[in-house]
Every structure is written in structure tokens, then in C-alpha cells.
Chain A
Amino acid sequence: MSRVDIQHVSKRYGAFAALDDVTIAFNDGEFFGLLGPSGSGKTTLLRSIAGFIAPDQGSILFDGEPVESVPVHRRAIGMVFQSYALFPHLTIEENIGFGLDVRSVPREDIRKRVAEMLSLVRLSGLAARYPKQLSGGQQQRVALARALITRPKVLLLDEPLGALDRRLRQEMQVELKDIQRESGVTAIFVTHDQEEALTLSDRIAIIDQGKLIQVDAPQTVYERPANIFAANFLGDANVFRGTPAKSGLKLADGTVIATLKPSTGAAIVRPEKLRVASGRKKSAGNSLTGEITQAIYSGASVTYRIHTKVLGDMPLLAFIQNQTGEVLDTGAAVTVSWDKEQTIPVEA
């Protein structure tokens, strides 16, 4: 339950910059997602906060106190590993109590706290089992209970749900969020799964090639991405490149599309913001004509890929809510239109 500050942190491995001047302020009690592709530096950042990695430059502060010289075991962190890292030779009770045991907390108190944690993660009957006797989801909850029992200043989670299958993952997302709220701990988690990041996080940081791209609430990152990378990494995006024009963005063939704000040379539109109508007729707002190259029906929605002259090899992607039950055929001539307000200028 603390503020964590990362200030101008850099870490290099030879010529490779794993972290490049990253500054983030994590608020007390927030659930913060570090999102990026593999090799982006998000895990390096998490492990720097934990103390497993010493940054080359910059400082890390817990509640304003620099911790660079504090070893891992005195940082008062809790960590959940992707593989859970439960101690195979200890029972569930001993695993969860480990953090108190190494601090020489009296046995009676340990037993009481372990029982509390077990009920928090709904595993009360399993105290005497060994980790390998538990399912993946149960092991995940033990790892969480073990990390929380010491009342850490910050809870660090490395791809916490990565090893679970899809169904269980969705269940655990809800549970993880509930437990974090209940305990009020500042939690920072690493993921490459955009859905997980959107569901769990109060705020998200998008990281690419060691650099911080954007820090914002999930909704803001999705609706107002800072650049093309952020737009593509969190969700799908139709990207338009061109030159700044008076009222928007001028594309290669001279078409001008209106943008929300004056653009700097690129703009994106989310696929679900597009409307698709059959036939070629210009409509109000932004529109382009083209031809359907692929139509994928998935019940609740239909995904179209639409070839347009101006975008050439890059088809427009449109997610259309299935309200009429009709699907346009491949090869059909269509008009795609969308609102100026949904055309978000981004950095190229």
C-alpha cells in the first residue's frame, strides 16, 4: 500500500536498451498494467522494481524513499511469478506462511493469518496439500495468497494468468481484481494480453523497445492512442497516413479525411466505428468506396476486409454489429463511412 515512483530508469544489455529513460508514477492502491510485446522491457521494469535487476541509471522510490540499494528481501514486495514458483516441498499452508515464518512471526499468528488468506482466496480446505496436488487455478491463488500475507508495499505480478487456459483466465481476472481491491495493495502487473490489460487495469502503460509510449486509463489508451504502435497494440486500428491539411489529413490520392483535431500526418479509426453500406455513394462525413475482399461471420458481429484504392495493400477492417442478419458478399462494391469524431490523429 504505497506509492511507487520510477524516475528516468535505464537498463542496457550491451548495445540493447531494455529500458530507456522510463518515468512512471504508480499511485497508492492502483492496479497498473505494463503492456508491451515480448522483449519490450516490461518484465525488466517489473524485475527492477522487485530488485532482481539493478538499473544502470535512474531511481526507484517506494513512498518517496529510494530503494536502489535495498536488497530484494528487504524491499517489502510481494511477487507472483508466471509459473507461480510455489515451493514443492512445502504444504499449501507452509507456502503461504513462508513470508511470515522467515520474519520469525510466532507460530500461532502465522496459523491465523494463513487461515485468513486461505479464505480470502477460497482455498480453505486445501491447507495440508502439496502444490502439485492442486490445479493451475488453485496454484495461482496460493501464489497470490503467499505474496499478500506479508502485507507488501507493492504487489508485482509477472504474466499472472499466462499459464491458465482461456476460461479459467477470465474467471481469475475477476477474482484477481476483487482480491486486489479488497486488500488495497498497489499492484503492478506485466502482460502481453491486451484483453487482460483492459479488464484488470486502472491504468495502463504501453511499452515498446524499452520506451514508454503512453500511460493512461485503459479507455483513454484505446480511444485516444498516442501513436500508431499503441493503436495497433491495444486493439485493431485502421491507419491513414498522409500530409496535414486544413481540416484534416490529405491522403496520397488527394482525398481529405476530416479528423478530430488537426493531424500531424497520421490518423486511426477503430474497426467498430466504421459503417459499411452496399453500393458506391458518397455520404456525409468521411467515406471511402471499395470492394469487400473477405467477410467473416461470427454470430454477434461480422468482420469485413475492404480493399480501397487509396490504401492499396492495407485493407480496411470493419467490425459490424449483426443487426439485420445479412452478410455482404465478397466482391461486393461498398461505401465505408465514419465520423470525424472517431478519426483520431496520432503520431506516426
Chain B
Amino acid sequence: MERAAKTYLGLILIFLYLPIVVMIAMAFNRSPLYEMPFTFDLVWFKALAYNQRLLQASWNSIWIACINAVTATTLGTLAAYAFARYEFRAKRLLQILLFPPITIPWLIIGTSMLIFFFWTGIGRGLHAILLGHVALSLPYVIVVVGARFANFGPQLEEAAASLGATPWQSFWRITVPVLLPGITAAALFAFAVSFDQFVISYFLAPPGTSTLPVEIYTSIRKGFTPEINAISSIIILFSMGLMLIVARNYKFGGDN
């Protein structure tokens, strides 16, 4: 039985990782047409270094993801704090309303944002993409940080106040450090949500500007080049590294 379970889990991992492994391998294969035998070469990585469009799109993506992570995490943490520590009207309703955006298809959210931004004069561009990503990441941040608040009552803050800490001191020296594993995980989530985001970015990107996923999509339509494999390999390693940090933090956050 245990053996069967192990085999089963092994198959799942193969199913998940095999396509990725093939793509990474092909990034290092000299042939652009996936011809065998495999010949190790860094030619596609070198070509990538000269692909200005792809590099520019990568920078855009990284910048937007970073600014998004900082903005969404700050706003989301404050919102989670308000949910956890204050009583106000319609609090329950607001909490419930956080979840639908996670389930609404991105295509629909993207369309509605495009219409809304057009209608309000915000228009398209990197600023609009950033705005869209922040809106999209907020529910994730609030949920992740909120989970951390679930086993962190107001008592620690009360203890700090009783010891003479001002509300400001109490927030920075007690609340934030205790929440830190949650905040870190939320920031990485927000980064990933933005960095992987295609649909909304595609809708909100004006001609000539794009993020990495949008640029990859455009390149594939024009004709596939293994440079995509190269950049994808870099992204995969980067994303997986981030997610491993999330997983670690989250686990340690739980038993702290």
C-alpha cells in the first residue's frame, strides 16, 4: 500500500515537472528544432542577451512585480490589521467580498479593468498594469496575513502597552515582527501573482510596451525561437526559488 502511494506521488511529480524539465533541457540544446541528439550549447542564452524587446519586457515585469509586492503587501497588511483589531460596520460583508475576485476569471477582470480604466481616463500603460496587479494581489495578501492574525490576539499589543510602549512602538516592535513570516509570504505571493500575470497585463499594455509573459506570447505567435526556452528557464528557476522560500516561511510561521 505504502509502495503504491509512493509510486502514485512519484507519477504526479513527473506529470508536473517533466514538461518543465524538457523545456529547460531544450534551452541548452543547440538545435532550434529540438533535434536529437542533444548538444549542449549556451547559444540561446547568448541570443537572449541581444534580444532587446525580451529584455525590456523582463525588466518591466520585474519592476512591476517588485513595486506591486511592496504596495499590495503594505496596503493588504494594514487592511488585515483593521479586520483583525477593529469592529466596524459591514466588516463581515467586506471580508466576504474579498474572495470573489480570486475566483472570477482573469479574462473577465481584465476586460472590466480595461473598460474601467478607459472610462476613467487612466488609460493603458505600465501604471495601469501596476494598478491592476495591486488590485488582483490584495485579496491574497489580506488572506495570507489575516491567517497569521488568526492565532495572534490583541494580548501581545496590550502587554506592550502595559509596559509603556506607545501604539507606534507596539506596532513596529511587536505586531510587525510577529506577523513577519506572514508578511514575507504575502509579499512573495504578490510578487508571483504579478510576475506570472498574463491576461490583465495583455489587456492593459499599450502597443510597444509589454511585460514578459505578454512578450513571450507575442513572440510565439510570430514564430517560436528557443530564446523563449532560455528566458523561461531563468524565470522558472527564479520563481521556484521564491516559492521554496514561501513554503519554508509558511511552515515556520505556523509553529512559531
Interface residues of A (CB under 8 A from B): 50-52, 71-74, 76-79, 81, 83, 85-89, 98-99, 102-103, 146-147, 150, 156
Are B159 and A89 in contact, with the CB atoms below 8 A?
A: no
- Contacting residues, chain B, for A102 (C-beta < 8 A): 160, 163-166, 169, 173
Asked if residues A83 and B155 are in contact (CB atoms below 8 Å), the reply is yes
Whether the Cβ atoms of B159 and A79 lie closer than 8 Å is yes
Cβ contact within 8 Å between A98 and B155:
no
Which residues of B lie under 8 Å from residue A83 when comparing CB positions?
A: 155
Is the CB–CB distance between A98 and B256 below 8 Å?
A: no
Cβ contact within 8 Å between B164 and A103? yes
B177 contacts chain A at the CB level, 8 A cutoff: yes
Using A102-B169, A102-B173 as known contacts, say yes or no to A85 and B164 having CB atoms under 8 A apart: no
Partner of A150, one of B163, B166, B180: B163
Which residues of chain B are within 8 angstroms of A71 by Cβ–Cβ distance? 161
Whole-angstrom distance from the CB of A81 to the nearest CB of chain B?
Answer: 6
Roughly how many angstroms separate A86 CA and B152 CA in the complex, as a whole number?
12
Interchain CB contact under 8 A, B164 and A81: no
Q: Are B256 and A79 in contact (CB under 8 A)?
A: no
Known contacts A85-B155, A87-B156, A89-B178; A50 and B162 CB within 8 A of each other: yes
Which residues of A are found within 8 Å of B177, using beta-carbon distances? Answer: 89
B159→A72 contact, CB < 8 A: no
* Secondary structure type dominating chain B contacts: helix
Chain B's closest residue to A81 (CB) is B155
> Residue B158 at the A interface, CB < 8 A?
yes
A146 to B178, CA, bound (A): 18
Considering the chains assembled together, what is the distance between the CA atoms of A78 and B164 in angstroms?
9
Distance in angstroms from A88 CB to nearest chain B CB is: 6
Q: How far is the CB of B180 from chain A (nearest CB, A)?
A: 8
Using CB atoms and an 8 Å cutoff, list the residues of chain B in contact with chain A.
Answer: 155-156, 158-167, 169-170, 173-174, 177-178, 180, 256
Residues of chain B lying within 8 A (CB to CB) of residue A81: 155, 158-159
A96 to chain B: closest residue by CB: B163
- A117 → chain B closest CB, angstroms: 13
B160 close to A88 (CB less than 8 A): no
Residue of B nearest to A83 (CB): B155
Chain B residues with CB below 8 A from A52, complex form: 158, 161
Nearest-neighbour CB distance to chain B for A83, whole angstroms, equals 6
- Chain A positions within 8 Å of B180 at CB level: 89
Rounded to whole Å, the gap between the CB of B167 and the closest CB of chain A is 8
Closest to B177 in A: A89
Q: In the assembled complex, which residues on chain B have CB atoms less than 8 Å from the CB atom of A103? A: 164
C-alpha spacing A99/B169, complex, angstroms:
11
Query: Does B173 contact A79, Cβ atoms closer than 8 Å?
Result: no
Residue of A nearest to B152 (CB): A88
**Which residues of the partner chain A approach B256 to less than 8 Å between Cβ atoms?**
88-89
Question: How many Å lie between the Cα of A52 and that of B164 in the bound state?
Answer: 13
Contact B162 A74 (CB under 8 A): no
- A78 and chain B: residue at smallest CB distance: B162
| Residues of B with C-beta under 8 A to A50 | 158, 162
Q: Which residue of B lies closest to A77 (CB)?
A: B162
Shortest distance between the CB of B184 and any CB in chain A (Å): 13
- Please measure, in the bound complex, the distance between the C-alpha atom of A150 and the C-alpha atom of B160, giving whole angstroms: 12
A109 to B159, CA, bound (A): 22
Interface centre among B161, B164, B165 (most CB of A within 10 A): B164
A85 near B158 with CB under 8 A, answer: yes
